[in-house]
Amino acid sequence: MKDSPYTNTSRGGFNRREFLRGSGAAAAATALANGATAVAEAAESSDTIPLYGPGLTKITLNVNGQDRQVQVEPRMSLLEVLRNQLQLTGAKPVSVDGSSGASSVWIDDKLASANTVLALTCVGRKVRTVESLGGHKLDAVPTAFLHEDGMQCGFCTPGFVVAVRAFLDKYPNATEAEIRQGLNGNLCRCGTYANVIQACLEVVKGGVRG
Ligand code: FES
């Protein structure tokens, strides 16, 4: 059987197969060297950075002002832990990338999508959910949603309530145009936008009276 031109060594020089073999070996050597460096760096940093997993790890999360112990795998999102372990089911799993706004919560007073944040990264931070706006004295935002009928199926509503509360805390005198702009990260499949805007304007004017 004749060698293919690419494997014929009789002409001298460096054939393709040898080249691939050689470059493969070089790549493997580089990878090994990089791997060794990464392992050395990880060993060095492990003195300061805690390592978790791969199994369940017990951590404490501060949620709605209370320290709560939970068991998490490194892959678990904050949303999974809130809903499945802490029974805080206000934030909803609608979009995996947080684009619906349905899993909105506060982390250290900043708006965040709970399904795009790993629970482990919330250790030492303050998490606040829509449930913090309920209780004996209902916050003005959910009150206005009720008054203005700002929901249908209600699946998007907790995310909207958190987003509205966060937005109006920052811009208490927002205009309708500003509210529309400020809430463009939240989606409602039932199309309740008009009533949601009315609820916001009601809060701007001082909330529901009487
Ligand atoms: S009320 Fe149904 S998705 Fe918004």
134-161 tens-digit pLDDT: 988 899 999 999 999 999 999 999 999 9
Last residue of a domain, one of 100, 129, 158: 129
The model's confidence at residue 14, banded by pLDDT at 50, 70 and 90, is: very low
| Burial class for 188, CB neighbours closer than 10 Å (0-12, 13-18, 19+) | buried
| 5 belongs to a structural domain | no
Domain region containing 111: 57-129
138 and 191 in a single domain? The answer is: yes
Read off the pTM: 0.76
26-47 tens-digit pLDDT: 555 555 555 556 555 655 655 6
116 and 140 in a single domain? The answer is: no
Ligand 1: distance of its center to the CA of 102 in Å? Answer: 10
Ligand 1: distance of its center to the CA of 66 in Å? Answer: 30
Binding site membership of 152 for ligand 1 (Cβ less than 6 Å): yes
State which ligand 1 atom lies nearest to the alpha carbon of 154: 1
Binding site membership of 191 for ligand 1 (Cβ less than 6 Å): no
Q: How far apart are CA 75 and CA 161, in angstroms?
A: 28
| 151 belongs to a structural domain | yes
Last residue of a domain, one of 70, 98, 129: 129
75 and 120 in a single domain? The answer is: yes
Last residue of a domain, one of 110, 129, 148: 129
Nearest CA to ligand 1 atom 4: 188
Q: How far apart are CA 66 and CA 137, in angstroms?
A: 19
**Hey, which of 188, 193, 196, 197 would you mutate to test ligand 1's pocket, going by the most ligand atoms within 8 Å of its Cβ?**
188
Give the pLDDT confidence score for residue 163 in this predicted structure: 98
- The enclosing domain of 97 has a CATH number of 3.10.20.30
Q: Is the pLDDT of residue 122 over 50?
A: yes
Ligand 1: distance of its center to the CA of 153 in Å? Answer: 5
| 121 belongs to a structural domain | yes
Ligand 1: distance of its center to the CA of 154 in Å? Answer: 5
Please state the domain count of the chain: 3
**Hey, which of 100, 164, 189, 195 would you mutate to test ligand 1's pocket, going by the most ligand atoms within 8 Å of its Cβ?**
189
Give the pLDDT confidence score for residue 135 in this predicted structure: 85
